[in-house]
Every structure is written in structure tokens, then in C-alpha cells.
Amino acid sequence: MDAKTAQILDGKALAQKIQAELRDRIQTLQAKRERPPGLAVVMVGDNPASAAYVRNKERACEKTGIASLGKHLPAQTTQTELEELIEQLNQDERVDGILVQLPLPAHLDAVAALNKIDPKKDADGLHPTNMGRLVRGEAGLRSCTPAGVMRLLEEYDIDPAGKHAVIIGRSILVGKPMALMLLEANATVTIAHSRTPDLAAMTRSADILVAATGRSEMITAEMVKPGAVVVDVGINSVSDGAGKSRLVGDVHFESVQTVAQFLTPVPGGVGPMTVAMLLCNTVFSYSQGGEV
Ligand code: NDP
């Protein structure tokens, strides 16, 4: 038996703890506000993966006492109809958070839709105003997946200060805000991507390695510095050959757990933390009474 196995960063357990704390907080706040917090998840079309994510978010709302005020629009919805709905939700006083579930059908412009969300209700933290606040190190609604990673590191007393953090992926959703948050926490940050030559040399220099590529199990043990903290953001569905599929991350869990000091599992790592941060953002907006 291998004596050395990484400690698991248990996002599922932490997300449950956060949800329990939020439930208590909502009960206290609700006594003053006379209504529960509300989150509107807007979904367009019938992408099965998106439908599963939306169900997950709605279930989490139910458990914490947040009203789900979401809308499911048909696949042929026009840009104008989508933006009109967002405008209605911006005006709706019961709604504290709005999230447009991505990806949208190809005929819709996701960036234009996201830009219509009132920054005060931007539960996903993707609006340019909130992204700009992150760049400037100002308070604001933070994008959920990287915020979830930061909260997970904090829970396990992993201080990024002075560490070399390497993030693989430069998307607006994950890679870029992740880099900014680690920078804010005083890590020295490198962002790698598909044009980075000799990725393995880069990843081997990481004290904290965050993989956000969407490439199944591409990070193997040889690419990881012994004792590193490895955070796997990827969620990839792979076929097991017998007609069934299973979820894997961007990290090859079995091999990397023999090298890393800390490792997030997939599922049960970053995914539940993303949902927990979405709820936190909604409750934050609610607690500010629209003054974020
Ligand atoms: P994107 O496809 O937008 O970005 C992927 C990034 O990875 C790009 O910057 C790309 O580089 C880079 N990349 C791809 N292949 C390689 C490679 N072989 N070597 C180095 N870099 C590479 O994905 P997202 O950021 O939206 O998502 C990433 C993953 O995280 C996905 O699996 C997604 O499902 C998952 N995810 C999980 C969440 C969670 O809650 N756990 C939430 C959001 C996403 P380039 O820019 O050069 O193309």
C-alpha cells in the first residue's frame, strides 16, 4: 500500500457547512427584511448538462431558504426577449441575484446578455463592473468558481502568500479571475494556456497548481511538484466504454494523489464550492439591500 496520499480538499463538506451558516444568517436577516433572498437562474434551451447544474443550484437555494425565481426559456428565444427578461429581473424587488446559465444557444450573444445584468445583482460576478473591481482590488461580487477555490484553500489553512501559483486556463469564467484572486492573496502568479511551451516544466514549478482546461485528466504525476497543492476545476464527462459516462477532472487523480500534498476530488471539490459561493453572493446582495 502506498504510504503517501494527498489530503483531500473536501469541497462538498465545506459547501454544506457554508449552506448551514447561510441558513442561520438568512433567518436572522429575514426578520428585518420581511422576505427571503431571491435568486433567478435564467436558462435558455435544453442542454442536459446545464439543466443538471440549474437543478443543483435550485436545490441548494431550497435548502438554505433562498427563493428560486428562475426562468426557463425555449431554445428559440431571441436576444431581445432574453434581455427584456433580464431587465424585468433587474427591476424585481424580490430578486437579489441573477445568473444566466452558460452556454447559451449559439444564436444568442452571452456577453451582451451578461452586461445587461444589474452589477448589484450579478450573482456570478462576471459583469465588467465586478470584474473591474476585482482587478482594482475593491470590494464587489466575486466570480463564484475562483472565489470557491480561495475559500477552500482558506479552510485548510493554505496561505498563497509567497507561493508560486500556476493556473492553467485563461477564461473569463475561471482562469483570469482565479489569477487575480491569488495575486490579491500575495501569490506569485503564472497563467498557462494552450500556447504555453513546455507546460510540464511550468506546472512542476507550482506550489499551488490550478487546472481549468476542460481536458480530461491531462495533469499527471510527472507534471506536479512533490508536496504541491493541486486544485482541479475541470468537470469532464467521459465514456466508460460500456455506454455509461462518469465525471473526471483535468487532473489524473490516482497518480497525482501520490505526489501532491493537497488535492481536490472531482466530483466533490470545486463544483459544490461554486454553488456555495453563488448562494453567498446572493445573500450578500440581499444583506446590502441593493447597495452593493
Ligand atoms: P474554457 O474552454 O473557456 O478555457 C479553457 C482554457 O484552458 C483556455 O484558456 C485554454 O487555452 C486552456 N487549455 C485548453 N487546453 C489546454 C492544454 N492542452 N494545455 C494548456 N492549456 C489548455 O473553459 P472554462 O475556463 O470555462 O472551464 C474549464 C474547465 O472547468 C471545464 O472543464 C469546465 O467544465 C470546468 N468548470 C468547472 C466549474 C466548477 O464549478 N467546478 C465552473 C466552471 C468551469 P487557450 O485560451 O489558449 O485556448
Rounded distance from Cα 3 to ligand 1 centre (Å) = 32
Which residues, other chains included, contact 202 with Cβ-Cβ below 8 Å and sequence gap of 6+? 166, 190, 192, 196
In a domain, 207, yes or no: yes
In a domain, 180, yes or no: yes
pLDDT value at residue 289: 73
Domain identity same for 98 and 191: no
Select which of 10, 96, 101, 207 is catalytic: 101
Domain identity same for 158 and 113: no
In a domain, 67, yes or no: yes
The number of beta carbons lying within 10 Å of the beta carbon of residue 241 is 6
What stretches in the chain show pLDDT beneath 70?
A: 1-3, 290-292
Instruction: Write out the three cell numbers for 162.
Output: 509567497
176 is catalytic: no
At 201, which CATH number?
A: 3.40.50.720
Dihedral (CA of 89, 94, 96, 100) sign? negative
Number of structural domains the chain divides into: 2
Domain identity same for 262 and 149: yes
pLDDT value at residue 109: 98
For residues 218 and 254, is the Cβ–Cβ distance under 8 A? no
In a domain, 100, yes or no: yes
Mutate to test the pocket of ligand 1, among 233, 264, 270, 273 (most ligand atoms within 8 A of CB): 233
In a domain, 130, yes or no: no
Domain identity same for 106 and 211: no
Q: Which residue has the cell 488535492?
A: 263
Domain identity same for 176 and 247: yes
pLDDT in tens, 187-219: 999 999 999 999 999 999 999 999 999 999 999
pLDDT value at residue 39: 98
Domain identity same for 88 and 189: no
Range of the domain at 201: 143-270
In a domain, 138, yes or no: no
101 is catalytic: yes
Residue 163's region, left for phi above 0, alpha for psi from -120 to 50, else beta, is: beta
Beta strands in the chain (DSSP E): 7-8, 38-44, 67-68, 71-73, 97-100, 164-168, 188-192, 208-211, 229-232, 236-239, 245-248, 262-263
Among the atoms of ligand 1, which is closest to the Cα of residue 170? 9
At 75, which CATH number?
A: 3.40.50.10860
In a domain, 278, yes or no: no
Question: DSSP labels for 82-131?
Answer: HHHHHHHHHH-TT-SEEEEPSSPPTTS-HHHHHHHS-GGGBTT--SHHHH
If DSSP codes are grouped into helix, strand and coil, which group holds residue 166?
Answer: strand
Instruction: Write out the three cell numbers for 9.
Output: 480538499
| Cis status, amide bond into 265, omega within 30 of 0 | no
pLDDT value at residue 16: 97
Is there an atom of ligand 1 within 6 Å of 270 CB?
A: yes
Domain identity same for 241 and 171: yes
Q: Among 56, 85, 119, identify where a domain stops.
A: 119
Domain identity same for 99 and 151: no
Domain identity same for 253 and 176: yes
Select which of 10, 118, 122, 124 is catalytic: 124
In angstroms, the first-to-last Cα distance of the chain is: 52
Among the atoms of ligand 1, which is closest to the Cα of residue 250? 32
In a domain, 186, yes or no: yes
Domain identity same for 167 and 56: no
pLDDT value at residue 162: 98
